[in-house]
């Protein structure tokens, strides 16, 4: 029996790039897949490819930024496959621009597609999964740019919001059998090509950078794991896969040291002069100083 033979999953933005790689991989493991994309031709092509290779898939084209459309995606999965056990919120758009150049239209559209689309679909999927009473798994797509990056402020803001949404809604879903996690993928895609001219300056301004981007397919096994029963104990996590590296991304935390006092302006100035200025947080994507690594320690 295939690992995901009992799963029925919706993947948004699956007409190409990462979404198509996820859809193909999941179908190859036996899952029934609803292929969504705003481009009808692309969605149908991926669904037909899966079917021609012996998999189960239907196309459900449409714009996830339209809140009501989320419910129709979930119902398309129900009608085609009799259930919905997983939902991958992959759809997103990317408009890199420096702060002085970002347009209102681009910023709004990224919020509508990346954030509102994810929120609407996650809400609809969780609601249907609750009614079915058999649990389920929702996977959202964040990004390393949530930590800040040159020319990615607006895009990163939408991805940081998705991460925060994941943490909050995962807390609300505890005990329901429904899990919500997020991934931070890295791949050579059409979206990445839009950012290629910025990679050098971005690398100079953060600790984490990569000489080359892996293919989209390298990210698919993580999605399959998070949708499978093997990840039943994983909830509210942001998992990063970057080539050969697999990591948990830390949630926002209050940094030590915490000084306690009845604060005046003068005392705050002293606190920064004597302590807090030496503990300012790194800008951009960075590694924590020490974390466990499979097979040993990485310092």
Q: What is the DSSP string of 202-220?
A: HHHTSS---SSPPPGGGGH
Task: With respect to residue 2, please indicate whether it lies within any of the assigned structural domains.
Answer: no
Co-location of 170 and 48 in the same domain = yes
Domain end position, chosen among 248, 275, 290: 248
What pLDDT sits at residue 207? 59
Report how far Cα 288 is from the mean position of its chain's Cα atoms. Answer: 20
Q: Residues 223-236: pLDDT tens digits?
A: 999 999 999 999 99
Co-location of 177 and 294 in the same domain = no
Buried b or exposed e, range 272-298, using 16+ CB within 10 angstroms: eeeeeeeeeeeebbeeeeeeeeeeeee
What pLDDT sits at residue 120? 98
Residue 108's domain comprises: 8-248
Task: With respect to residue 1, please indicate whether it lies within any of the assigned structural domains.
Answer: no
Question: What tokens does 79 get?
Answer: 């009608």
Catalytic annotation, pick one of 22, 25, 155, 167 = 155
Q: Place 299 in a pLDDT band, splitting at 50, 70 and 90.
A: very low
Task: With respect to residue 231, please indicate whether it lies within any of the assigned structural domains.
Answer: yes
3-state secondary structure of 173: helix
Question: What tokens does 209 get?
Answer: 């950078």
Tell me how far apart the alpha carbons of residues 83 and 56 are, in angstroms, rounded to a whole number. Answer: 14
Co-location of 219 and 94 in the same domain = yes
Number of domains the chain is built from: 2
Co-location of 145 and 289 in the same domain = no
Tell me how far apart the alpha carbons of residues 169 and 62 are, in angstroms, rounded to a whole number. Answer: 25
Co-location of 160 and 279 in the same domain = no
Task: With respect to residue 78, please indicate whether it lies within any of the assigned structural domains.
Answer: yes
Global pTM reads 0.90
Cis peptide before 229 (omega within 30 of 0): no
Task: With respect to residue 259, please indicate whether it lies within any of the assigned structural domains.
Answer: no
Task: With respect to residue 239, please indicate whether it lies within any of the assigned structural domains.
Answer: yes
Q: Residues 97-129: pLDDT tens digits?
A: 999 999 999 999 999 999 999 999 999 999 999
Tell me how far apart the alpha carbons of residues 49 and 15 are, in angstroms, rounded to a whole number. Answer: 11
Co-location of 47 and 153 in the same domain = yes
Co-location of 291 and 219 in the same domain = no
Task: With respect to residue 260, please indicate whether it lies within any of the assigned structural domains.
Answer: no
The DSSP secondary-structure symbol of 15 reads S
Is-catalytic flag, 155? yes
Mean pLDDT, the chain, as a whole number?
90
DSSP code string of 36-72: --SSHHHHHHHHHHHHHTT-EEEE----TTSHHHHHH
Co-location of 232 and 269 in the same domain = no
Co-location of 176 and 281 in the same domain = no
Proportion of the chain above pLDDT 70, given as a percent: 87
Q: Which residue has the higher pLDDT, 257 or 4?
A: 4
* Cβ contacts of 178 within 8 Å, gap of 6 or more: 126, 129, 130, 135, 136, 137, 138
Co-location of 237 and 281 in the same domain = no
Task: With respect to residue 257, please indicate whether it lies within any of the assigned structural domains.
Answer: no
Co-location of 169 and 115 in the same domain = yes
Q: Which residue has the higher pLDDT, 36 or 279?
A: 36
Strands 8-11 and 32-35: parallel
Residue identified by tokens 């600790």 is 207
What pLDDT sits at residue 286? 86
The CATH number assigned to the domain holding 119 equals 3.40.50.720
Q: Residues 131-186: pLDDT tens digits?
A: 999 999 999 999 988 887 878 899 999 999 999 999 999 999 999 999 999 999 98
Co-location of 168 and 289 in the same domain = no
Q: Region 203-231: what's the mean pLDDT? A: 82
């Amino acid at each position: 029996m295939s690992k995901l033979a009992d799963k029925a999953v919706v993947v948004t933005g699956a007409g190409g790039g990462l979404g198509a790689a996820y859809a193909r991989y999941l179908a190859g493991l036996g899952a029934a897949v609803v292929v969504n994309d705003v481009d009808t031709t692309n969605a149908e092509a991926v669904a037909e490819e899966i079917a021609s290779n012996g998999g189960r898939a239907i196309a459900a084209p449409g714009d996830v930024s339209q809140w009501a459309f989320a419910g129709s995606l979930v119902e398309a999965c129900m009608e085609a496959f009799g259930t919905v056990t997983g939902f991958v919120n992959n759809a997103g758009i990317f408009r890199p621009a420096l702060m002085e150049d970002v347009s209102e239209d681009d910023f709004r559209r990224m919020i509508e597609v990346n954030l509102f689309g994810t929120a609407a679909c996650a809400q609809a999927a969780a609601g249907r999964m609750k009614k079915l009473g058999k649990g389920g798994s929702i996977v959202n797509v964040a990004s390393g740019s949530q930590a800040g990056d040159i020319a990615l402020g607006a895009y990163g803001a939408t991805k940081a919001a998705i991460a925060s949404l994941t943490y909050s809604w995962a807390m609300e879903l505890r005990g329901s059998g429904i899990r919500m996690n997020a991934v931070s993928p890295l791949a050579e895609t059409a979206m990445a090509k839009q950012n290629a001219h910025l990679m050098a300056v971005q690398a100079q301004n953060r600790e984490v950078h990569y000489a080359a981007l892996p293919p989209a397919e390298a990210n698919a096994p993580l999605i399959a794991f998070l949708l499978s029963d093997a990840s039943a104990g994983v909830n509210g996590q942001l998992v990063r896969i970057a080539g050969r590296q697999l990591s948990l991304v830390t949630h926002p935390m209050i940094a030590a040291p915490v000084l306690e006092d009845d604060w005046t302006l003068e005392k705050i100035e002293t606190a920064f002069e004597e302590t807090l200025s030496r503990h300012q947080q790194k800008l951009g994507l960075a590694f924590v100083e020490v974390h466990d690594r499979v097979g040993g320690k990485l310092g």
